[in-house]
A and B are shown apart, each in its own frame.
Chain A
Amino acid sequence: MNMKNKSLISINDFNKEELLQILDLATYFEQNPHQKILEGYVVATLFFEPSTRTRLSFESAVNRLGGRVIGFTDAAVSSTSKGESLADTIRTVSNYADLIVMRHPIEGSARWASEVASVPIINAGDGSNQHPTQCLLDLFTIRQTQGTLDHLDIAFVGDLKYGRTVHSNVIALSNFQTTFHLVSPEELKLPSAVKMHIKSNNLKYYQYTQLEEVIPKVDIIYMTRIQRERFADPIEYERVKNSYTLTKKMLEGSKENLKILHPLPRVNEISIDVDADPRAYYFKQALNGVYVRQALIASILGLA
């Protein structure tokens, strides 16, 4: 696939071959992270809502390739706060940058921006809809730890109902014969539309409410945060929160190749005694985000 001048909006725009092609290019940047191929290029990072982690990852990717970054980190300082439409902001910034990375709380905003911009857009999160670079870095990390994406047993743990990352990952992994192990409280189960997607690919999924029983079965545990605001009853939240905390002790009896991932920031889903364990992989996962973003920026600008 030629990504030159194309926007990256949704993981659903990619088939299996295209996903693998991006991951291969990211592997190349993992081996050669410092290259000055972006000399003279300007990338705008427009964060209409703050997300320091994602923004730093993108800016690191641009800087390591020798490019320059302009932008803002929060809508309060942009002209949006004066009532300017997103379309007008995007058209204006198109004049100043070769590529726009944007994060916006409104769903579908990135697709809309890509239709009015004269330069390509990378979606760095549009509300609860899509965050394709997160999904790609997760796939990259899973492949890096297991040597393959095919035929893995993968557990997703926590808020599977509202977790955009989980939905995108499940949909993307359905290309690779994954068996899904879904661990969540009753009220935060994976939506039936996403389960339908698994079924329509003739794949299996198993649902659990207890974290312990899934640990010996899987190659990857993907932990996610459970947010207090998802619960009407605060007591219920406290109960659930504690039963989905992964501790080092729980990892006894796991497969040798097990790796633990988390999109970060972590709150208390993973006990800090896990951090030093060789199965903990979430900080390396964050580093991989830089390689994946380097690969995407370089191919969209036609430099790789």
Chain B
Amino acid sequence: MKSETRKELIVSAIQNGTVIDHIPSYAVIQVMRILNLINTDLQVLFGMNLDSKKYGKKGIIKVRDKFFDDIEINKIALAAPHATLIEIRDFEIISKKQAEIPDFVEGIVKCFNPKCITNHEQVRTRFKVVDKEDLRLLCHYCEKITKNENIEFI
């Protein structure tokens, strides 16, 4: 209970909206970018390097009066594979969802191939996810694979 109280001091509770929990701290800004929370009128609270039983340290984002659809949720799985989305109405948790790696990824990841058209002209990147375990993205344009360790967000 004591640690709960302390957490509330750092990132205060919200009445309605979404809490995105279990984000690696380094990915918090990335997740905010993917969800278009950087230039928004919504109230956004976030924290990094918070204590987590599961992961040691974690990041968290709270967005007031906003609920995300599954397509948006799955986009963040690339940056935060273990993220949990908690929907809150009147301070009550009404649902918990796990982000899942989607089948297709559009407009959020760079193609690793420097000779790819997407790195030369204004072309929205498009990938088919060919391996969800070991994250491998097949570029729709150059047909090359971008591997997990080479993923760079736009």
Q: Which residues of A contact B (CB under 8 A)?
A: 10, 12, 85-87, 105-109, 111-112, 126-130, 193
Q: Do A111 and B140 touch across chains, with their CB atoms under 8 A apart?
A: yes
Say if the beta carbon of B113 comes within 8 Å of chain A.
yes
Q: Do B113 and A107 touch across chains, with their CB atoms under 8 A apart?
A: yes
Q: Do A111 and B141 touch across chains, with their CB atoms under 8 A apart?
A: yes
Question: Contacts A86-B117, A128-B115, A193-B145 given: A108-B122 contact, CB under 8 Å?
Answer: no
Q: Do B121 and A107 touch across chains, with their CB atoms under 8 A apart?
A: no
Question: Contacts A85-B122, A86-B121 given: A108-B145 contact, CB under 8 Å?
Answer: no
Q: Do B143 and A109 touch across chains, with their CB atoms under 8 A apart?
A: no
Q: Which of A107, A129, A130, A193 has the most CB of B within 10 A?
A: A107
CB B35 to nearest CB in A, in angstroms, measures 27
Task: Specify which chain A residues have a CB less than 8 angstroms from the CB of B18 in the assembled complex.
Answer: none
Please report which residues of chain B, range 93-142, place their CB below 8 angstroms from some CB of chain A when the two chains form the complex.
111, 113, 115-118, 120-123, 139-142
Residue among A12, A109, A130, A193 making CB contact with B117, cutoff 8 Å: A109
When chains A and B are docked, how far (Å) is the Cα of A129 from the Cα of B111?
14
Question: Contacts A107-B117, A127-B115, A128-B115 given: A10-B143 contact, CB under 8 Å?
Answer: yes
When chains A and B are docked, how far (Å) is the Cα of A146 from the Cα of B80?
54
Say if the beta carbon of B144 comes within 8 Å of chain A.
yes
In this complex, the interface size class of chain B, counting residues with CB under 8 Å from chain A, is 10 to 19
Q: Do A87 and B143 touch across chains, with their CB atoms under 8 A apart?
A: no
Q: Which residues of B contact A (CB under 8 A)?
A: 111, 113, 115-118, 120-123, 139-145
The total number of A-B Cβ pairs within 8 Å is 49
Q: Do B143 and A112 touch across chains, with their CB atoms under 8 A apart?
A: no
- 9 A-B pairs, CB-CB below 8 angstroms? A106-B115, A107-B141, A107-B142, A108-B117, A108-B123, A108-B139, A108-B142, A129-B143, A129-B144
Q: Do A107 and B144 touch across chains, with their CB atoms under 8 A apart?
A: yes
Task: Specify which chain A residues have a CB less than 8 angstroms from the CB of B118 in the assembled complex.
Answer: 108
- Beyond A107-B141, A107-B144, 4 additional pairs, beta carbon < 8 A: A106-B120, A107-B113, A109-B141, A129-B144
Task: Specify which chain B residues have a CB less than 8 angstroms from the CB of A107 in the assembled complex.
Answer: 113, 115-117, 141-144
Task: Specify which chain B residues have a CB less than 8 angstroms from the CB of A193 in the assembled complex.
Answer: 145
Task: Specify which chain B residues have a CB less than 8 angstroms from the CB of A127 in the assembled complex.
Answer: 115, 142
CB B32 to nearest CB in A, in angstroms, measures 29
CB B145 to nearest CB in A, in angstroms, measures 7
**What are the 7 tightest A-B residue pairs by CB atom distance, in nearest-first order?**
A108-B141, A107-B142, A108-B142, A108-B117, A112-B117, A109-B117, A107-B115
Residue among B113, B115, B123, B145 making CB contact with A112, cutoff 8 Å: B123
